[in-house]
Structure 1
């Protein structure tokens, strides 16, 4: 009986951890999608100082994402209109 209760508690804890991770993934997808849209609209000729280097680094990191993940990220931000648009 004690063993079953322990397993049930462990399963509950794992379920809670998975929910936290999925929530964090959704947030990270929104961030990546927004960053991808920003990079797509930037004009590197008008960036000042180190901004061009940072934009290039961000672009490189976005390009490392799998196509599926990047599509998921863009889908996340396309579903909700941005306030400034």
Structure 2
């Protein structure tokens, strides 16, 4: 199965990269854009099927390695192939 993890700064954390991208977008004339947040996406393949145990394993990976739980949130999608 394919797992895609989306990591983004918590809403309470400043995002200077997001602010810079938002400013660049506005300088290009797109003034209706606001609240830009920049994150990262991690995709990997994993053996097994979508079970509570697999989801626990993915949560441990996300909490311990793929994100910093102090300043980042994550969510993931599982696509069975």
Fold similarity call, TM over 0.5: no
The two structures have a TM-score, normalised by structure 2, of: 0.27
Higher normalized contact order (CA 8 Å, seq sep 6+, divided by chain length): 2
Higher helix proportion:
1
The two structures have a TM-score, normalised by structure 1, of: 0.26
Greater CA radius of gyration, 1 or 2? 1
Higher strand proportion:
2
